[in-house]
Structure 1
Amino acid sequence: MHSERASWGLKLAAWGGLVFLHFPILIIFIYAFNTEQSAFSFPPQGFTLHWFSVAFSRVDVLDSIKLSLQIACLATLIAMVLGTLAAAALYRRDFFGKEGVSLMLILPIALPGIVTGLALLTAFKALGIEPGIFTIVIGHATFCVVIVYNNVIARFRRTSHSLIEASMDLGADGWQTFRYIILPNLSSALLAGGMLAFALSFDEIIVTTFTAGHERTLPLWLLNQLSRPRDVPVTNVVAMLVMLVTMLPILGAYYLTKGGESVAGSGGK
C-alpha cells in the first residue's frame, strides 16, 4: 500500500539541500553582528550592532543604496506598463508573428546576463548614448518586463472573457470595464510581478556592470569591496541588507500569487 508520507531518507535529503543552499547566507548574517573586525574569526567573539552604525554613516554606502532604489523603482515602473500592455495585446488575439513577439519578450531573461549586457552596451555605443543611470534603467527594464509579462498573461488566461462581455452588455464603457473588471482581476498578479521585478533589479550586477559607466549601484559597491578585507564587517551588513530587500518582495509575490486559481472567472475548481 502506497504511503503519502515521505521516507526519512527523502526528508533528510530535502533538509540537506536546504542547509547547503542557505548556510552561506546564515554565515553572512552571523558575521554582520560579530564584534571582531577579522573576516573569519570562528567562533564569533560576541554580538554587536556597531557595524550597522558604521555602514549607515558612510556616504558611499548611502549613495549606492539610493541609486539602487531609484533604478529599481524606475525599471519596475517601466516593466509594469510595458509588460501589462504586451500581455493584453497577446493573450487572446492570434496574428502573424505572434510567436516571434512572445519569444522576443522572453529572450532577455533566457539569455546569459553577460550576453545581454554586452548587447546593450554595443547598442548604446552605436546610438552615441553614454553609460549612466538612463542606460542602467533601460538595461534592467529589458528583463524586468518578462517578469511582469509572465505574471499578467497567466492571470489573463485564467480570467474568463465572459466577464468582460457581461460588463459591456450591461452598458459599461471601455474605461469602466478596465477599472471594475480587468484591473481587480489583475491587481495581485500585477503587484506580484512588480515586486519580483523590483527584487531582480535591485540586486542585478552582470548587466549593470556593462551599462553603469561611472555609476555605482549597491551590488557594484559590494563587488568592489572584495578587494578591501578591512571592510568585511561593513560588507556583511550591506550584503545582509541586499538579501533582505530582495527576499521580502519575493515572499510577498509568492503569497500574492499562490491562490491564483481562485480568481474570479477562472477555471480553477
Structure 2
Amino acid sequence: MRAFGNKALVTILGLAVLFFLYAPLFTMAVFSFNDSNYTGLPFNGFTLEWYAKVFANEQIIRSFGASVFVAVGVVILSVTFGLPAAIALDRYDFPGKAWFRRIVMLPIVLPGVITGVALLSFYVAIGLNLSLYTIMLGQGTALICITATEVFARLQQLGRSTSEAAVNLGANELEVFWKVTLPNIKSALLGAMLIAFSISFDEIAVTYLLTGRENTLPMTLWSMLRREATPEVNAIATLVVVLSVVLIVLGFAISRSRNALADTGEAAL
C-alpha cells in the first residue's frame, strides 16, 4: 500500500503544512507595504513609508546595533569554546567522553526560559549586573553546541589520515591545526558562525530575562507589539526575517558546498 493512499493526498497535506507555516509571514510582509496606519484589510496601496520610518527611528537603530553586538559576541564565544570541544571529541579519548558530548548538547535542548531563569539566578547570586554582556553570555552558553556539532561532523568526515600524514612529515600539533585541520573545516566553521549569529539575533526568551537597560531589536519589537501591531512593526519583522533567512541559507550553502567538494576529492582519490 502506498503511503497516505496517493500522491494527491500527499500533495494536499504538504501544501497545507506550507500554508500553515508561511502564510502568517507572507501576510506580515504584504501589510508592511500597506498604505494605511493599521494592519488589516483593505489594502489601500503600496508604500515604502514604513520602511523609511524604521530607518529613521533612532531607538530601532540603537537596538539593531545592540543585537549585532550581542550576536557577534555570541559567535566569538561559540567558536572559542565549541571548536576546542569538537576537536577534543574527534581526536582524543578521555574518561567521560560520552557524557561530555551529551553535556555540550544539553543547553540547546533546554527551553530558553529554563536557561534564562538558571542564568538569572546565577548572576544574582554572584552580584553581576544585567547588561548586553549578560545576554551575550546566556546566549553563548546555549549556542556553543552549534559550532561543536557542525565542526565535529566535518572532522568525522575528514578522518585522521591527513593529520597523521602531516605528523609523520614532522609537523607539530599547532602546524597540523593551522595548515591541515583549519583549511578543511573552515566552511563548516563559517556555516556554524552564521547560524549562531542568526539564532542570537532573533532570540528573545533568554534575552528577556537577562536584559538590562539596553534593549536588543527583538525586545524593542516586543514592546511595540504590546501597544499595537502597526505596519511599522510589520516592516521591522520582515527585515529581521529576511536577514535571518539569508544568513541561515548562506550558512547551510557554504557547509554543503564544502562537503560536496570534499566528497568529490575523495572519490577522485
Same fold (TM > 0.5): yes
Q: How does 1:71-150 map to 2 (within 5 A)?
A: 71-150=70-149
CA distance in 2, matches of 1:119, 1:18: 36
Where structure 2 has 5 or more consecutive residues not aligned to the other structure, the ranges are none
CA distance in 2, matches of 1:54, 1:228: 17
Where structure 1 has 5 or more consecutive residues not aligned to the other structure, the ranges are none
CA distance in 2, matches of 1:28, 1:56: 18
- Cα deviation for residue 263 of structure 1 reads 2.2
Relative to structure 1, the CA distance from residue 268 to residue 24 in structure 2 (aligned partners, 3 Å threshold; closer, same or farther) is farther
CA distance in 1, matches of 2:267, 2:68: 37
Bigger Cα displacement from structure 2, 97-106 vs 23-32:
97-106
Deviations, residues 65-99 of structure 1 (Å, cap 9, x unaligned) = 00001100111111012100111111232221222
- Cα deviation for residue 172 of structure 1 reads 2.9
CA distance in 1, matches of 2:151, 2:205: 26
Partner of 1:256: 254
SS at match of 2:230: helix
SS at match of 1:56: helix
- Cα deviation for residue 43 of structure 1 reads 3.3
SS at match of 2:34: coil
CA distance in 1, matches of 2:12, 2:256: 26
Relative to structure 1, the CA distance from residue 60 to residue 127 in structure 2 (aligned partners, 3 Å threshold; closer, same or farther) is same
CA distance in 2, matches of 1:48, 1:216: 28
- Cα deviation for residue 261 of structure 1 reads 5.7
CA distance in 2, matches of 1:93, 1:162: 15
Is residue 131–residue 211 contact of structure 1 (8 Å, CA) maintained in 2? yes
SS at match of 1:38: coil
More helix by share: 2
Is residue 68–residue 202 contact of structure 1 (8 Å, CA) maintained in 2? yes
Is residue 87–residue 152 contact of structure 1 (8 Å, CA) maintained in 2? yes
SS at match of 2:53: helix
SS at match of 1:227: helix
SS at match of 2:43: coil
- Cα deviation for residue 109 of structure 1 reads 0.5
Relative to structure 1, the CA distance from residue 58 to residue 103 in structure 2 (aligned partners, 3 Å threshold; closer, same or farther) is same
- Cα deviation for residue 264 of structure 1 reads 6.1
Bigger Cα displacement from structure 2, 178-187 vs 129-138:
178-187
Partner of 1:54: 53
Relative to structure 1, the CA distance from residue 110 to residue 241 in structure 2 (aligned partners, 3 Å threshold; closer, same or farther) is same
CA distance in 2, matches of 1:54, 1:88: 47
Partner of 2:218: 219
Letter in structure 1 aligned against 2:238: M
CA distance in 2, matches of 1:265, 1:116: 41
Bigger Cα displacement from structure 2, 73-82 vs 174-183:
174-183
Give the aligned CA root-mean-square deviation in angstroms: 2.2
Letter in structure 2 aligned against 1:180: K
Partner of 1:11: 11
- Cα deviation for residue 177 of structure 1 reads 2.0
CA distance in 1, matches of 2:101, 2:176: 26
SS at match of 1:214: coil
Relative to structure 1, the CA distance from residue 59 to residue 245 in structure 2 (aligned partners, 3 Å threshold; closer, same or farther) is same
CA distance in 2, matches of 1:61, 1:212: 16
Partner of 2:37: 37
Deviations, residues 210-245 of structure 1 (Å, cap 9, x unaligned) = 11022211111111112222x611111111111112
Matched, 1:167 2:196: no
CA distance in 1, matches of 2:267, 2:9: 34
CA distance in 2, matches of 1:43, 1:93: 63
Partner of 1:240: 238
Deviations, residues 183-214 of structure 1 (Å, cap 9, x unaligned) = 11101110111011000100000000111022
Letter in structure 1 aligned against 2:20: F
